[in-house]
Structures are given as C-alpha cells and as structure tokens.
Amino acid sequence: MGIITDNLDLWSSTLLGTLVLFVAGGLLALVLGTLVGAMRVSPIPVARAVGTFYVNTIRNTPLTLVFFAFAFALPPLLGLRLTGDVSLTLAICALGIYTATYVAETIRSGINTVPVGQAEAARALGLTFGQVMTLVVLPQAFRSVIPPMMSVFIALLKNTTVAAGFSVVNLGSIRSYLSERGENQFVAILWVMVVFVVLVLLLSWAQRALENRWKVAR
C-alpha cells in the first residue's frame, strides 16, 4: 500500500490524465462517430462511400500508428510546438478519430436492428419524417445500441494507456515516474492493473444496469 499512499500526488494526477483522455476522447468519438454513422445510413451514395472508406481504413489501422501519425508526423506539418497541452490535444484527437469508427459501426447496426415495418407503420399513420425518427425509430435504435456502445467505451478506456508511449501523462505512464522515485516497478504496474480491473468492472456494471433498464421488450 505504501507505493500508493507515499505517491498520492502521482496517482491522482495520472488517474486524472486517464479520465481526461477517456472523457474528451469519448465525446469526440461520439460526435464524429454519430456523424459518420449517419453518413453510412444516409440516402446519399457519396456520403455512404466516404463513410465506408473512413471506417474501413481506420479500423484496419493500429491505434499506435494513429498516435504515431498525430504525435510525430502532424506537428511538423502544422508547425506545432510540442508542449504538454498540444500533446494532450493530439492524443485526444487520435483516440477520438480511432474510436469514432467503432461508434459509427455500433450506431449503424443499432439502426439496422429496427425492423423496416416499424417505420413503414409510422408513415402509414401519417407521421412526418421528424416524428417517425424521434417517436419510433431512434428510441428503439438507442436502446439496442447501449450495450455494444458501452463495450466500445470499455475498449476506449483501455486504449488510453497507449498515450503513455507518446509522452501524455496517464495511468500507463506512472510506471516511469515511480521508478524515478525508486519505487518497485513490478508492484506499481500490478497496482495499475488493479485500477484498470476496477474501472472496467465499474463500466461493465453500468453496462448491465443500463441494459436491464432499457431492454427492448419484443
């Protein structure tokens, strides 16, 4: 326990770093992923093609490569000076752009689980497009999207550690700071593992709770 109580400042700042990456990256992924998901189910062929290309390319790109491009190739292109804030922003962008593809696919498959008959029935009743969406299609899609979306966020939480390789402070990088203070690295990493298991358990618990609450009764 000493390794935690003696270095509370490090643990709190790295945990905060992980949470910042998780929340900011998650928000960016949600916005971008919803946009791309909408493009993939839109009636516009060009938009569908662009969305498909984006999803297929980024899903076949290692996250480390995305980070690599953002951390090393982008700063010289945009003439950025690598300060802590710039590194953090780039890491958030990398995580968001990578996770957005998974969000987009989740939303697309969620919409596809709603039977076509639902929308047809709504239109037959004379509902407008806005009413069909807000009253019939999206509520059902939203419910079936919740469990896989939580899995995407669990993966995002674990992926935040990759930022440790690109000089962004988070739980993945606490190891090097603790070893500078002469602590036992093995024990430090074991504690990091414990923290992640706890965080993932919390998210899985939230997933199960939301799933039970918003189950589609069919």
Partner 1 sequence: MSSVLYDVPGPRAIARNRILGVITVLVVLAILGFIVWRLWDTGQFSAEKWDAFTYSNVWLQIALATGRTLAAFAVAAVGALALGFALAIGRLSDHPWLRGPIGAVVEVLRAVPVLVFMFLLYYGLPVLGIRMEPFWAVVIALIAYNGSVLAEVIRAGVESLPRGQSEAGYAIGLRKAAVMRLVLLPQAIRAMMPVIIAQLVVTLKDTALGYIITYQELLFYARYIGSQSTYGSPIVPATIVVGAIYIALCLILSFVANRVERRLRRTAKLGKGVAPADDAMTATRAVAVQAGLDDPEPRR
Task: Name which of 41 and 206 has its Cβ closer to partner 1.
Answer: 41
Among 27, 125, 135, 201, binds partner 1 (CB under 8 A): 201
Question: What whole-number distance in Å separates Cα of residue 150 and Cα of residue 203?
Answer: 7
CA dist 47 and 44 (Å) reads 5
Q: What are the tokens at 65?
A: 């490569």
Query: Is the Cβ of residue 56 or residue 213 nearer to partner 1 in the bound state?
Result: 56
- Residues in the interface with partner 1 (CB under 8 A) total 59
Residue numbers 14-73 binding partner 1 by CB under 8 A: 39, 41-47, 50, 56-57, 60-65, 68-69, 72-73
Question: What are the Cα distances from residue 57, in Å, to 4, 61, 73, 101, 199?
Answer: 41, 6, 18, 9, 30
CA distances from 2 to 12, 191, 203 (A): 15, 11, 27
Chain residues in the site for partner 1 (CB under 8 A) = 39, 41-47, 50, 56-57, 60-65, 68-69, 72-73, 76-79, 111-112, 114-116, 118-120, 123, 129, 133, 137, 158-159, 161-162, 164-165, 171-172, 175, 179, 184-186, 188-190, 192-193, 196-197, 200-201
